[in-house]
Amino acid sequence: MPERIDPWGSSVYENYERLIKEFGISPMSELVDMLPRTHRFFTRGIIFGHRGFEVILGAIKKREEFVVLTGFSPSGSVHFGHKMTFEQIAYYQSLGADAIITIADLEALAARGMPLSKGYEIGINEYVKAAIALGLDPERTEFYFQSKRKDILDMAIYFATKVKLGEMASIYGFEESTSVGHVMVPLIQAGDILHVQWRRYKPRPTIVPVGVDQDPHIRLSRDLVNRSRVLNVRKFEDGVMVTLSDRSMKELLKKVEKVLREYGYSDLDVNIPYGVIKVYGVNGEDEYIIEKVITNIERPVNDFALFKPSATYHRLMRGLTGSKMSSSKPETAIFLTDEIEEAKKKVFRAVTGGRVTAEEQRKYGGNPDVCPVYELYAYHLVEDDTELLRIREECLKGERLCGHCKREAAELLESLLKDIREKMSMIDEKVIKEVVRYD
């Protein structure tokens, strides 16, 4: 297990329970039953963890405004790992969210050397079209390019004053040979995540669905909000406490107490001189209300009074070669633009969790938990949980051989890709103009 999570690395993560313990990620299983309706990614444990999802649950339950924000580096074509994220965006839209999606062309330039013109071409022709084809509502979806949006660059410069170079090195592993442009990328990412509550937008809960490899960006963004606000909320054993970092602004804390009591919170331990209000016996919905109260009270005197961003973390699909799936390594992934026959060949060439011989497979069974082909079924090809369980049990018992399993997967994949490609072909310039912003 690596000492740090690397957003740009090639590590294949195996022990997600250990990630939860070592990096303070909260298990998603505790909250799934509170959702008004679920998605197979939740019920199958593919989305395994979160930070601050209680706030999103509160907004959903009260049917109040929230936004889903994520981004894609246009360093290569859209693959099935990206498809997972688009599906999650569509799911949150179905629960009332607006969607804002960044094409991270500055990150692709700084971290991958991708020219901005190439990033623009890939972003428009692949990512925007794929998003709409995969179910996003154009009327509630906004794409933008990092290089075109001044707000995120302004935020990045401001946040650069809140963090030290040594801290960035500790989080991301930057070295003396790392370019300054690459060092700036996480701060631009924080600008992406947080600007949807700033200037042209109003403060609102924000959910960022990402693979676990992006957790450093989430932690940094949440920390930057804490450092930029005067009022903050943090949990303790019996509830949450509101703290005031600037004792000269005690009037803000007095307003918080007044509004909390108006909301019906009576079990409070208030210490204005020390800048603390403890709120006892709160649940997820309460955390949303308290975040909303302090943000609304502080915002008139602080433009950076924002909701801390929430995040969900999904397991990373294994590449077909067994390594990490990557846009820059075509052999590792199924791309939405792959020719059908080429995509099927990739399935047939994929490594599996099977035994060396058919005889051993029948005798000892396979291991679906390390099999990229089984993951295709679990993540993308099979909607019905009972059917997926049947496939899994047949593999474990040795009743399913890898050749047969790959043929079935290839047939399902062909049908899925044809459907997606047909929908992508129907997206014209008018739709693209509706969803892409250039400011």
CA distance 175 to 167: 12
In degrees, rounded to 5, the angle at the alpha carbon of residue 337 between the alpha carbons of residues 336 and 338 is 95
CA distance 109 to 102: 14
The CA–CA distances, whole Å, from 414 to 41, 277, 334, 421 equal 22, 58, 11, 10
Q: What is the pLDDT of residue 4?
A: 56
Amino acid identity of 106?
A: L
DSSP string, 255-289: HHHHHHHHTT---EEEETTTTEEEEES--HHHHHH
Q: What is the pLDDT of residue 365?
A: 96
Q: What is the pLDDT of residue 11?
A: 54
Residues 6+ apart with CB under 8 A from 347: 320, 334, 373, 376, 406, 409, 410, 413
CA distance 116 to 164: 28
Q: What is the pLDDT of residue 20?
A: 80
**Residue 234 bridge partners (DSSP):** 241
* Residue where the block lists tokens 């979160």: 50
Which has the closest alpha carbon to 392: 377, 403, 411?
Answer: 377
According to the CATH classification, is domain 330-426 in 1.10.10.10? no
Q: Are 396 and 368 in contact (CB under 8 A)?
A: yes
Q: How many CA atoms lie within 13 A of 52 on its CB side?
A: 23
**Parts of the chain with a pLDDT under 50:** 1-2, 8, 10
Residues 6+ apart with CB under 8 A from 377: 388, 391, 409, 412
Q: What is the pLDDT of residue 2?
A: 46
Phi-psi region of 202 (alpha: psi -120 to 50; beta: other; left: phi over 0): beta
Q: Where in the chain is the domain with CATH 3.30.70?
A: 231-301
The answer to whether the Cα torsion of 112, 117, 118, 123 is positive or negative is positive
Residue 277 burial by Cβ neighbours in a 10 Å radius (0-12, 13-18, 19+): buried
The answer to whether the Cα torsion of 90, 94, 97, 98 is positive or negative is positive
pLDDT in tens, 369-428: 999 999 999 999 999 999 999 999 999 999 999 999 999 999 999 999 999 999 999 999
Q: Where in the chain is the domain with CATH 3.40.50.620?
A: 10-229+309-316
Q: Are 49 and 26 in contact (CB under 8 A)?
A: yes
Q: What is the pLDDT of residue 12?
A: 58
* Residue where the block lists tokens 């590449």: 319
Q: What is the CATH number of domain 10-229+309-316?
A: 3.40.50.620
Q: Where in the chain is the domain with CATH 1.10.240.10?
A: 330-426
Q: Are 365 and 395 in contact (CB under 8 A)?
A: yes
CATH for the 231-301 domain, from 3.30.420, 1.20.140, 1.10.287, 3.30.70: 3.30.70
CA distance 233 to 331: 46
